[in-house]
Amino acid sequence: MSARAGFTVAIDGPAAAGKGTVSRAVAGHFGFAHLDTGLLYRAVARRMLDAGGGYDAGRAEAIAAALEPADLDRGDLRTAEVAQAASRVAAVPQVRAALLEFQRAFAARAGGAVLDGRDIGTVICPEADVKLFVTASDAVRAGRRFRELTEKGFDTDFDTVLADLRARDARDADRIDAPLKPAGDALLLDTSEMSIEQAVAAAIAAVEARLTG
Ligand code: DC
C-alpha cells in the first residue's frame, strides 16, 4: 500500500528502548524512508569532541548549522562518549533550532517517512500520522545496550552502562527545550517483556491501522 506524500511516523523514547530497531523495521515494511535523528546530535557532538577544547554551547551551535549529510555516515558515532556529549549538545536550544528544518523536510518527503528520536511527536512533527513512544525498564535497556557494546568489543560493565543511561535519560527528560516525553496522542509501546518480533509487529499494526482506517 502506498502512503500519501508526507505520511509520517514519529517514534520517540529513551535510549536503548528498541526504537531504532522498530523504526528500521517499520520503514522497511512499508517502504518509507528512515531518519535516526539521534545521529544528528551525535554528529554535532563528534565534531565538537574531534576539535578538542571541551564543551561549548556556541561552538556546538556553529557545528550544527554547518552539519553535512556525510557527517551522519561516520562509523564512530555510536560510542558511549559520543552519546553523553550528544545529550549535552541536544540541550542547547540553538542546536535544536539549527537541526529542525532538515528533520521537517525529511518528514515531508514523498513516499512516507519514519523519524525516531526524543521530540519527533511533540516538536518536530506534532501532526505526524502515527506516533509511538517506545520504552522499556532501565534494567532491560541497560542489558540490551551492554550486550551491544560488548559485542562491538567495548570493554565495559553493566553498572557503568546503567549509570550512563540514567544520566542521559535524566538530561534528555529534564531539559527545558523539547524534553523527552510522550506526545499526548502517542501509542505507548513498553518493550520490556517483548521480543523484537512482537515490538515490530505492534508498531506495524499501528501504522497499518492508520493507513487503512
Ligand atoms: O537516540 P540516540 O541515543 O542516538 O540520541 C543521542 C542523544 O541525542 C540523546 O541522548 C538525546 C539527543 N536527541 C535529542 O535530543 N532529540 C532527538 N530527536 C534525538 C536525539
What value does the mean pLDDT take over residues 86-99?
A: 97
The whole-number pLDDT of residue 213 equals 80
Phi, psi for residue 167 in degrees, rounded to 5: -65, -40
The whole-number pLDDT of residue 4 equals 60
Q: Give the list of residues 6+ apart from residue 96 with CB closer than 8 angstroms, or none.
A: 90, 119, 123, 177, 178
The whole-number pLDDT of residue 5 equals 64
Atom number, ligand 1, closest to the C-alpha of residue 20: 1
| Count: domains in the chain | 1
The whole-number pLDDT of residue 55 equals 82
CATH of the domain at 177: 3.40.50.300
Structural domain range at position 193: 3-212
Three-state DSSP at 20 gives: helix
Q: Which residue has the higher pLDDT, 6 or 24?
A: 24
Closest residue by Cα to atom 20, ligand 1, is 38
Phi, psi for residue 6 in degrees, rounded to 5: 85, 5
Percent helix, percent strand, percent coil in the chain, to nearest 5: 55, 10, 35
Q: Report the alpha-carbon distance of residue 29 to residue 23 in Å, rounded.
A: 10
Q: Tell whether the model's pLDDT for residue 159 goes beyond 60.
A: yes
Determine the residue type at 164. D
Q: Report the alpha-carbon distance of residue 138 to residue 145 in Å, rounded.
A: 11
pLDDT in tens, 98-116: 999 999 999 999 999 999 9
83 in contact with ligand 1, CB cutoff 6 A = yes
Q: How much distance in Å is there from the Cα of 90 to the middle of ligand 1?
A: 7
Quote the percentage of the chain above a pLDDT of 70. 98
The whole-number pLDDT of residue 54 equals 80
Mutate to test the pocket of ligand 1, among 118, 119, 125, 165 (most ligand atoms within 8 A of CB): 118
